[in-house]
Amino acid sequence: MSPFGRDRGGPVRVTAQEAAARTGHARVAPATAASVLLDIREPHEWHAGHVPGAVHLPFTALTSGAVLPAEARSRPVVVICRSGNRSQQAAELLRARGVEAVDVTGGMREWAEAGLPVVDARGGDGTVV
Question: DSSP labels for 19-68?
Answer: HHHHHT-STT--S----EEEE-S-HHHHHH-B-TT-EE--HHHHHTTPPP
| pLDDT recorded at residue 25 | 86
Look at residue 34 in the predicted model and tell me its pLDDT: 86
pTM of the model: 0.88
Q: Where are the domains of the chain?
A: 12-113
pLDDT of 14-47, one tens digit each? 999 999 999 998 765 555 568 999 999 999 999 9
State the catalytic residue, choosing from 14, 37, 81, 128: 81
For each of the chain's 129 residues, which pLDDT tens digit applies?
A: 344 444 445 448 999 999 999 999 876 555 556 899 999 999 999 999 999 999 999 999 999 999 999 999 999 999 999 999 999 999 999 999 999 999 999 999 999 999 999 999 999 999 999
Is 81 catalytic? The answer is yes
Which of 49, 50, 55 minimizes the C-alpha distance to 35?
Answer: 55
CATH hierarchy code of domain 12-113: 3.40.250.10
